[in-house]
Amino acid sequence: MKIITFHQLTGADLEVDAVYRGGSTGNLASEVLSKLFPVGNVGGFRWPGKWNETPLVILTSNENEAAWPDLLDPYTGTVEYFGDNRSPGELHATRGGNRILRSAFEKTFSDDRQSVPIFLYFTKWEQGWDWQFRGLLVPGGKGATLDDSLRTVWRTSKEQRFQNFAAKFTVLDTPVISRDWITSLLSGNRENHAPDVYLEWLRKGKYKPLTAPRVDKTRSKANQQPQDDKGRRLIEHLTKRFPKPDAWKFEAVALEIWSQISGNRIGAELTRQAVDGGRDAIGYMYVGPPGDQLGLDFLLEAKCYSSENSLGVKETSRLISRIRRHQFGVIVTTSYLGDQAYKEIREDGHPVVIITGRDIVEMLISQGIDTIERLDAWLDKIERQD
């Protein structure tokens, strides 16, 4: 990983995944981004000049806000980024971030890309004022529509509902953004010194994402569990709702979790409580156009375990042994898979979807279920329908 020191910031190029170090004064004089660009020293959105004329927007994130889970997906080369209306108020009554998003996405999908600012994405690094550069973003993606790419989402704060934007960007496949291009861009010429992949997007609307396929086939314990206190409280409460004598009641919840995460229509039924043969639910996930859908046959196993109680080979092998040809398995657990069990599934090529505590929390929060009260209401609804 390349490190750019504070004294090297002025005139530095931007390299994907390089860390740009802040100063040591402990105040805003140590701030990084205002040294790299003519922008302010605070805010999630930062830009030079007027919001509707700027050629450049800096997007920042700590990627650690449960209600606003900004996410870079390195495997698909996409970023989902939430707007700046993060408390009750009108969608556009902000400093300007949401107006920039609406304008940029509408211009992109009306083929007015020449007036769309470039977006540079930075995420908070481990300490102090440090930032990591994650890439050059452009609105939308291959085959996407405006409705796909810029959505409004509802949230609740202090019992007031409000809307914000959820925007999907593509990270273009260029490892370096040269200082020469940034200088040219700020002077009004967006093509001089520009990366080829950007020019392809600008002139033809072609997207070439920066994808990085996964090398590790498994996730560590830490990466299977919630990443912040809010997430840990939610999963702990969910687990406590189903103590051991009533753990079977979690099966209906697990089925709903799978339905939400899959994003497809699910048709399934729970198996009997005792002697279920290693299957808590059997069903179909439907894919294809509405008039001609194909049902993919799956078996589901649900495990409501505490965060420190992992699933081992014994639990996973029961499900694996019952998967037949043209079937796949789904494991839904509030905890995590142990290393050996996870590796055997992936290295042996078993068709098993693994949903752990972290995945559950991220799904809940994406649905606005971000408090204990809302979680209870959601669980109560599932129990009434069961």
Per-residue pLDDT of the chain (386 residues; tens, 9 = 90+): 899 999 999 999 999 999 999 998 888 999 999 999 999 998 899 999 999 999 999 999 988 776 788 999 999 999 999 999 988 888 887 889 999 999 999 999 999 999 999 999 999 997 789 999 999 999 999 999 999 999 998 888 878 889 999 999 999 999 999 999 999 999 999 999 999 999 999 999 999 999 988 777 899 999 999 988 888 999 999 999 998 888 888 999 999 999 999 988 898 888 866 544 556 889 999 998 888 999 999 999 999 999 889 999 988 998 999 998 889 999 999 999 999 999 999 999 999 999 999 999 989 988 888 889 999 999 999 988 76
Start-to-end Cα distance in the chain:
51
pLDDT of residue 161: 85
Q: Are 102 and 146 in contact (CB under 8 A)?
A: no
Domain span(s) for CATH 2.30.280.20 in the chain: 3-204
Q: What is the pLDDT of residue 255?
A: 93
CATH C-level class of 3-204: mainly beta
Q: Where are the beta strands (DSSP E) in 196-250?
A: none
What is the model's pTM? 0.77
Query: Which pLDDT value is given to residue 230?
Result: 87
Residue 338 CA to its chain's centroid (Å): 24
HSE, side-chain direction, 13 A CA sphere, residue 84: 19
pLDDT at 67 (0 to 100): 76
* Edge-to-edge strand list for the sheet holding 327-333: 265-270, 281-287, 294-303, 327-333, 352-355
- Where along the chain do the CATH 3.40.1350.10 domains lie? 221-385
CATH code of the domain made up of 221-385: 3.40.1350.10
